[in-house]
Structure 1
Amino acid sequence: MIKRVACYSFLLFFFLLSCGQNNTKETVQTSQPVENPTQKPIILFFGNSLTAGYGIEEEDAFPGLVAERLDSLGLDYLVINGGLSGETTASGVSRLDWFLEEEPEIFVLELGANDGLRGISLEETKKNLKAIITSVRSKYPDTKILLAGMQIPPNMGQEYTNRFREIYPEISQEENVNLIPFLLEGVAGDPDLNLRDGIHPTEEGHKIVLENIWPHLVQLIETEGNI
């Protein structure tokens, strides 16, 4: 079950999700198209400051940790960190084409929290997330998509909060994509796992996020016959 945390801490965690960003030897972080001369299969993480790894070294953020684990298993992937702080689902739709110059084998979509913070219409958020999935599939039908579920504090009202949480499993079902139920399970609101701002995960927090992602990611890698 999702760990309950103090409402105040949970609110702080999300309040400045739109702040900052940083830049592993196996990870490329960029807001521009990435060339892949080695033709390694690509895993693209497309998200906001959580993906970007605000406040820590890029290799310590969860995309970098994924790259490190893949490397330790002898799996030769190019991991692209497409995180941009402050990203909403609408700006994600606009930015997506930059990252579709090369076909990703796996596309991890981590967006929506900033929409929730701003009280953006949930119908709009859901529409944009589905549009991103549709765009990826239209260009690259074989790309596997993994959707990262998010939750928000009840500052917009309990009805909005509950409905926000529900859109991720709905999209997963309607679009037939794999779902991480809650990306920040076990991390959000825990002062020992977040930076001093109380907002963004520390290196230890990102290690837990890695474990939240890994079982879902490895299922997609297995479908490609690599494990």
Structure 2
Amino acid sequence: MNNDRRTTRRDCIAAAAAALLGAALPSRAQSAKGSGAPVILVVGDSLSAEYGLARGTGWVTLLEQRLDAERIGARVINASISGDTTAGGLARLPALLQSHRPTHVIVELGGNDALRGLPLVGTERNLSQIVQLAQQAGTRVLLVGMQIPPNFGADYARRFSAVFETVARQRKAALVPFFLQGVADGPDPTRLFQPDRIHPTAQAQPLMLDNVWPHLQPLLR
């Protein structure tokens, strides 16, 4: 009789615990739905880190709003750091991939390499390794191309722009040809830049998103 009572009590406790656990945890269908949502990791520099802008006005925040408007249930993680180079992005990437498990990676790096006059062979190697690491982690990669004024000579500027095309072609990654199209190549190129003439204003951010979106949207399907 006592054994039966103890058994009955254990069964009741086990049943109650199972019920509570079931109520606390999402269903398998809900978990599967949540795990299927895209996770977009942006690895960039000051152009993506809202340098000089009010918080929430940069193109990455506008991307989140665009995704909501398009009813795409994606999560965006902005891991951009002002001043970052391709070497810095490469060093940070493994931990970011491990921590966030993204489905998509947007790589917006290279401008600071050019501003520092760094050898292009290193920039190309770093970008290639960044794309390769992301792809090996099972993500779809969008490489954001940049162009620079001929401060370091027309040849350097031309070869710098070609680096992005080369990496995208060799790694079979999607490419934004020129991130600042319509911003830096207009009739008055200073109009959409902050006083430092390097960082775009808040008014330029929608144009920057419009340059990214046509190349990102197909990757989300």
Q: TM-score, normalised by structure 1?
A: 0.77
**Residue 88 (str. 1) matches residue 69 (str. 2):** no
Structure 1 residue 75: Cα displacement = 1.4
Aligned to 1:118: 116
* 2:89 maps to amino acid: G
1:26-105 matched pairs, under 5 angstroms: 39=35, 40-100=37-97, 101-105=99-103
Q: Secondary structure at the match of 1:104?
A: coil
Distance 2:192 2:132 in 1: 35
1:125-144 matched pairs, under 5 angstroms: 125-138=123-136, 140-141=137-138, 143-144=139-140
* 2:117 maps to amino acid: G
Aligned to 2:200: 201
More divergent stretch after superposition (79-88 vs 188-197): 188-197
* 1:212 maps to amino acid: N
Q: Which has the larger radius of gyration?
A: 2
Note if contact 1:52-1:58 (Cα within 8 Å) is conserved in structure 2.
Answer: no
Q: Secondary structure at the match of 2:76?
A: strand
**Residue 153 (str. 1) matches residue 152 (str. 2):** no
Structure 1 residue 94: Cα displacement = 1.0
**Residue 179 (str. 1) matches residue 178 (str. 2):** no
Choose between structure 1 and 2 for higher RCO, CA contacts under 8 A separated by at least 6 residues. 1
Q: How many residues align?
A: 183
1:206-225 matched pairs, under 5 angstroms: 206-222=205-221
Q: Secondary structure at the match of 1:185?
A: coil
Structure 1 residue 176: Cα displacement = 0.1
Structure 1 residue 82: Cα displacement = 1.2
Structure 1 residue 58: Cα displacement = 3.4
Aligned to 2:158: 162
Note if contact 1:45-1:109 (Cα within 8 Å) is conserved in structure 2.
Answer: yes
Contiguous gaps of at least 5 residues in structure 2? 1-33
Q: Secondary structure at the match of 1:63?
A: helix
**CA deviation vs aligned residue, 1:85-119 (integer Å, no higher than 9, x gap):** 11011111111123112221111000011111111
Aligned to 1:28: none
Q: TM-score, normalised by structure 2?
A: 0.79
Q: Secondary structure at the match of 1:45?
A: strand
Distance 1:127 1:105 in 2: 23
* 2:42 maps to amino acid: F
Consecutive aligned runs of 4 or more in structure 1 exceeding 6 Å deviation: none
* 2:60 maps to amino acid: P
Q: Secondary structure at the match of 2:56?
A: helix
* 2:106 maps to amino acid: V
Distance 1:118 1:102 in 2: 30
Q: Determine what percentage of the aligned residue pairs are the same residue.
A: 40
Q: Secondary structure at the match of 2:131?
A: helix
Distance 1:80 1:58 in 2: 15
